[in-house]
Amino acid sequence: MRSLAVKIAGVELKNPVMTASGTFGSGEEYSEFVDLNKLGAVVTKGVANVPWEGNPTPRIAETYGGMMNAIGLQNPGIDVFIKRDLPFLQQFDTKIIVNVCGRTTEDYLEVVERLGDEQVDLLEINVSCPNVKHGGIAFGQDPACLSEITAKIKKVAKQPIIMKLSPNVTDITEMAKAAEAAGADALSLINTLTGMKIDIHRKSFALANKTGGVSGPAIKPIAVRMVYQVAQATRLPIIGMGGIATPEDGIEFMLAGATGISVGTANFHNPQTTEEVINGLASYLEQYGHESIEEIIGAVK
């Protein structure tokens, strides 16, 4: 029997396949279509210290090879999450990774502290949020800012922390090294790339926010390249994501150096993608005679 088990920051997952934050709700929304017990982990949508309404509509637009979104991290807040969403997820034999978002460092710290005594396995910190105290630039776009928030969260977190890196930077390795030096336990990448779409007939922006995050198969080559670079630059475990729609896509990320892989946009048009990727990983190990999925992690140098 080939082993699909992997370990991320001391937490063992039955397989490396999980859901990308913001594409799977908090699990319940997909539970009719996917057996959550089969997943390595469920990564929740972003949770803030207070409810967020999100951006005005339209907030989603289809693009060639993917989509754009400007949801604005709409969420019900930590109180509702702990009361309603977390108990649902805890029924299943899967690891729980809570994505945390905020507008200030204090916002993040409040959520992280609230989750400290909950049955949660890992925290994924979304540093692509605009930092309102620093002119709106994302926490993850300035290495000093990223280092500061990582260190502060690490001081109060009771669970291992995964820093989710933004690709909208000049050098992804600089950001990865900053997070590692500040005490991050793992990294996830990439978040969406900033893009724009214009409706030529209406002569207006496709999204009310004007810009949005581009995701889907079109960004996969960029994501694989960044995962490879970060794997060469740091020793931290990496959760790779960005356009994974098939088992082959996931394998590519793992060969580049990812320990875990997240399926995002593909969930919208094929809710069974995660299960298909899991099955495909097992077939790949069988085909090439590997006993463990760990044998292929970073195999391409």
Catalytic residue among 129, 145, 161, 182: 129
**Encoding tokens for residue 20?**
């990308």
Please name the residue that has the structure tokens 């090879």.
Answer: 65
Half-sphere exposure at residue 32, Cβ-oriented, CA atoms within 13 angstroms: 1
- Please state, in angstroms and rounded to a whole number, the distance separating the CA atoms of residues 33 and 275: 10
Token code pair at residue 293? 């999925």
How far is residue 6's CA from residue 15's CA, in Å, rounded to a whole number? Answer: 6
d(CA 46, CA 81): 10
**Is 129 assigned a catalytic role?**
yes
How far is it, in rounded angstroms, from Cα 72 to Cα 155?
A: 28
Q: Give percent helix, percent strand, percent coil of the chain, each to the nearest 5.
A: 35, 20, 40
- Alpha carbon distances (Å) from 28 to 33, 84, 198: 10, 10, 34
What is the set of active-site residues? 129
